[in-house]
Amino acid sequence: MTIPNLQIALDNNSLSEAISSISKAGPFVDIVEVGTILCLQEGVEAIRCLRALFPKKIIIADTKCADAGGTVAKNCTDAGADWMTVICCATIPTMKAALKEVHDLQVELYGNWTFEEASQWLEAGISQVIYHQSRDALLAGESWGEEDLLKLRKLSRMGFKVSVTGGLTKESLDLFKGIDVYTFIAGRGIAQAEDPATAAKEFKAEIQRIWGE
Amino acid sequence: MTIPNLQIALDNNSLSEAISSISKAGPFVDIVEVGTILCLQEGVEAIRCLRALFPKKIIIADTKCADAGGTVAKNCTDAGADWMTVICCATIPTMKAALKEVHDLQVELYGNWTFEEASQWLEAGISQVIYHQSRDALLAGESWGEEDLLKLRKLSRMGFKVSVTGGLTKESLDLFKGIDVYTFIAGRGIAQAEDPATAAKEFKAEIQRIWGE
């Protein structure tokens, strides 16, 4: 089992806020995500600026693309993104078109996706998915449930690199022990911490403690 | 049966191209859509500029929002959009959060949505859906099929205002005769016509001829 990556999601309403969020924690994370809110607020200029700030880190454009995959992907790549996200209900031709134009593509799992669809993504050459904790569960005050963990394990066994997101704190990482998580995505858990650099370092140390044994 | 609206989708790669596209046809369409590609390229500034150009027309932000519905919707409304789109696999809480922040919300139908889900959207207070011609069908050289038309009729009978999009030309409008279409969405069919103003006027005249009887 490899050591999971740590990704910071920048879901700010402006580029300046995003830059402020990332400036302290940035050096300690593996992957920088230009969140959907930020993409829609500032356009691809946000990708360009984060690439300029972090020339060597993996940059993800979280477009949750549903259509016009080729065009959206090319635009993100041109702006400096390495990877891009598509939504799970996009059609296979849309995903394939996007995959041609980016270094890698991630399918965002929302709503009623099926493992049959997941097999089709694999067949289409897609190797990454992002598993979100159910928002309904989050609103109902629940944490990650056994059903989530079973699905994560199954996706991993199918051959996917699985990223995990949704209300993650460093205290919650233990829940995923024994699962081959590719990346943990944290947003407010790092960006809105009193000391974002320390928060990022503590996340990394906890990942190392659990998966580095 | 009411007369369907005509909507132009601006799926340009830059704001200047979008302004160029709309400058001629704009006065003759009912609704201006800031397309997903344009939203992701230029951010909400694209919405602001189109609102500035068309103070009285309905402006739609085609964000295909999948999460953070409240924030994305508020941002679009603040920039001057009237309506916004969400993707069909967004959760009901995401849709409800978005609906609170915009004048109206449209669900974009992609992939394997079900009529059971559609009933849940109605219960959540959503009255508009956007029906896309299957991209696979389009790639296979097919036009709108009987299955598409059956689904359109069923959505309309359920009580939805149904917008229709995907490879529409004014010659294809006759296919939808007898169906209570709320809006026809055209992109390249108008924007890339030799004379976009005439193309828009001809679309409108054809709609009037078929639905105005």
pLDDT tens figures, A153-184:
999 999 999 999 988 989 999 999 999 999 99
Q: So what's the pLDDT on residue B137?
A: 62
Q: So what's the pLDDT on residue B133?
A: 82
Q: How far A42 CA lies from chain B's nearest CA (Å)?
A: 4
Q: So what's the pLDDT on residue B139?
A: 66
In Å, how far are A28, A134, A164 from A180, measured between CA atoms? 21, 20, 11
- Paired with A85 in beta bridges are A106
Contacts of A110 in chain B (CB under 8 A): 66-67, 87, 89-91
Sequence-ordered alpha helix ranges (H) in B14-87: 15-25, 36-42, 45-53, 69-79
What mean pLDDT comes out for the span A94-119?
96
Nearest chain A residue (CA) to B37: A72
Sign for the pseudo-dihedral over CA of B195, B198, B201, B207: negative
Q: From B198, B109, B211, B197, select the one nearest B152 (Cα to Cα).
A: B109
Q: What is the band of A138 on the pLDDT scale with cuts at 50, 70, 90?
A: low
Contact B31, B5 (CB under 8 A): yes
Q: How far apart are CA A23 and CA B76, in angstroms?
A: 27
Q: State yes or no: pLDDT of A111 exceeds 90.
A: no
Q: What is the band of A213 on the pLDDT scale with cuts at 50, 70, 90?
A: confident
Q: So what's the pLDDT on residue A151?
A: 96
What mean pLDDT comes out for the span A91-113?
95
Contact across the interface for B132 and A41, Cβ inside 8 Å: no
Sequence-ordered alpha helix ranges (H) in chain B: 15-25, 36-42, 45-53, 69-79, 92-99, 115-123, 135-139, 146-158, 188-191, 196-211
| Mean pLDDT score of chain A | 94
B197 class by beta-carbon count within 10 Å (0-12 exposed, 13-18 middle, 19+ buried)? middle
Both tokens of A126, joined, read: 């897609």
What mean pLDDT comes out for the span A7-14?
96
pLDDT one-digit tens code per residue, B14-37: 999 999 989 999 999 999 999 999
State the Cα torsion A189-A190-A195-A196 to the nearest 10°.
180
Q: How far apart are CA A107 and CA A65, in angstroms?
A: 9
Q: How far apart are CA A9 and CA A186, in angstroms?
A: 6
Q: So what's the pLDDT on residue A13?
A: 96
Q: What is the ipTM of this complex?
A: 0.94
* Residue A53, number of CB atoms within 10 A of its CB: 15
pLDDT one-digit tens code per residue, B131-189: 998 655 666 666 788 889 999 999 999 999 999 998 898 999 999 999 999 999 999 88
Contact across the interface for A112 and B117, Cβ inside 8 Å: yes
Domains by residue range for chain B, with CATH = 5-211 (3.20.20.70)
* Helices and strands (H, E) in chain B, number of each type: 10, 8
Contacts of A62 in chain B (CB under 8 A): none
When CB atoms are compared, the residue of B13, B66, B92 closest to A87 is: B66
Q: So what's the pLDDT on residue B134?
A: 60
Predicted TM-score of the model (pTM): 0.95
DSSP A136-166: HHHHTT----HHHHHHHHHHHHHT-EEEEES
Sign for the pseudo-dihedral over CA of A11, A12, A13, A16: negative
Q: How far apart are CA B189 and CA B8, in angstroms?
A: 9
In Å, how far are A64, B51, B118 from B68, measured between CA atoms? 12, 23, 20
When CB atoms are compared, the residue of B68, B114, B136 closest to A91 is: B136
Which has the minimum average pLDDT: A16-30, A50-64, B37-51, B134-148?
Answer: B134-148
Contact B127, B160 (CB under 8 A): yes
* Residue A142, number of CB atoms within 10 A of its CB: 13
Q: So what's the pLDDT on residue B167?
A: 85
Contacts of B37 in chain A (CB under 8 A): 68, 71-72, 75
Question: In percent, how much of chain B has pLDDT > 70?
Answer: 96
Cα B149 to chain center, whole Å? 17
Contacts of B12 in chain A (CB under 8 A): none
